[in-house]
């Protein structure tokens, strides 16, 4: 486990916790998943790998996650995107490889689009997406809603669902789902202007491999790689998964160099 207190910055009056290692560029920026934190196995593994390579490494907790302030139920893709961009702009220099896990893959794609829009596209050397879940609110949650869940969204503004990864249930709010529709990236071709490597487990119970295949079909073929892991689950945290992740990041840095 990483020792010491994180650094803190204020974004929209919320305290955002982050950890960063100084090093050479291209650096690495970690973007975690829904209700995960920056001290998980993959992030810690990547931090150790980056330190060993002398690479800059940055990670943060979204509001309502981990060591950051704010309430989880107040979170939306737009809010977490704004926080991620603020941390990125303040704590990185030069080109970076974005490594996004699950929802972090969506955040990575949205960050890339926003940076390209603002003329900062050269800051992204590549994207490594682990079990990516772009558009998960519209593509994976909304189509499976039960009548009871729809009623809860309408009457209470949220519904709860048991989590395999935490004793606390997942909370999906009406605000998250409605805001998700404003951040969709899979409605047409995705022009990243950088290489992309997707790693997807075929035994993932949360994000089906068909979702990764659909994402792959929207990316420029000459710049996109898809690695399917036969027995990989959603966590992709077994030793062989972690080795594949660090190898993919190393190769992406090599391409940038």
The answer to whether the pTM exceeds 0.85 is yes
Is there a contact between 110 and 83 (Cβ–Cβ < 8 Å)? no
Q: Residue 28: name the closest of 4, 45, 11, 16 by CA.
A: 45
Confidence class for position 170, pLDDT limits 50, 70, 90: confident
Burial string for 202-233 (b: 16+ CB within 10 Å, else e) reads: eebebbebebbeebbeebeeebbbbbebeebb
Answer yes or no: is 1 within a domain: no
- The pLDDT tens digits for 56-100 are 999 999 999 999 999 999 999 999 999 999 999 999 999 999 999
Answer yes or no: is 92 within a domain: yes
Whole-angstrom distance, CA of residue 11 vs CA of residue 147? 37
Mean pLDDT value of segment 209-216 = 97
Is there a contact between 224 and 212 (Cβ–Cβ < 8 Å)? no
Q: What is the mean pLDDT of the chain?
A: 95
- pLDDT number for residue 257: 67
Answer yes or no: is 171 within a domain: no
Structurally, the chain folds into a number of domains equal to 1
- The pLDDT tens digits for 139-154 are 999 999 999 999 999 9
Answer yes or no: is 155 within a domain: no
| Structural domain span for residue 50 | 7-135+189-252
CB atoms within 10 A of CB 38: 24
208 SS3 class: coil
State the CATH number of the domain containing residue 103: 3.40.50.1820
Mean pLDDT value of segment 187-207 = 96
- The pLDDT tens digits for 94-125 are 999 999 999 999 999 999 999 999 999 999 99
Distance of CA 140 to the CA centre of its chain: 16
- pLDDT number for residue 3: 60
Q: Per the structure block, which two tokens stand in for 224?
A: 């996109």
Answer yes or no: is 82 within a domain: yes
């Amino acid at each position: 486990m990483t020792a010491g207190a994180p650094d803190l910055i204020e974004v929209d009056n919320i305290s955002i916790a982050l950890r960063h290692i100084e090093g050479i560029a291209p650096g690495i920026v970690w973007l975690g998943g829904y209700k995960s934190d920056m001290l998980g196995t993959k992030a810690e593994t990547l931090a150790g790998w980056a330190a060993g390579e002398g690479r800059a490494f940055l990670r943060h907790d979204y509001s309502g996650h981990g060591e950051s302030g704010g309430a989880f139920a107040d979170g939306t893709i737009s809010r977490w995107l704004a926080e991620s961009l603020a941390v990125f702009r303040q704590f990185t220099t030069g080109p970076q490889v974005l490594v996004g896990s699950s929802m972090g893959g969506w955040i990575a794609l949205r960050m890339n689009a926003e940076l390209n829009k603002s003329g900062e596209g050269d800051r992204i050397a590549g994207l490594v997406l682990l079990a990516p879940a772009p558009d998960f609110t519209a593509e994976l949650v909304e189509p499976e809603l039960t009548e009871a869940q729809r009623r809860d969204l309408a009457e209470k503004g949220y519904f709860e669902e048991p989590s395999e990864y935490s004793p606390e249930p997942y909370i999906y709010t009406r605000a998250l789902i409605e805001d998700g529709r404003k951040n969709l990236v899979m409605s047409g071709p995705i022009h990243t202007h950088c290489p992309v490597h997707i790693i997807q487990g075929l035994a993932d119970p949360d994000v089906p491999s068909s979702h990764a295949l659909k994402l792959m079909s929207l990316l420029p073929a000459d710049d996109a790689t898809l690695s399917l892991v036969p027995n990989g689950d959603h966590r992709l945290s077994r030793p062989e998964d972690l080795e594949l992740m660090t190898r993919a990041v190393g190769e992406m840095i090599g391409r940038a160099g």
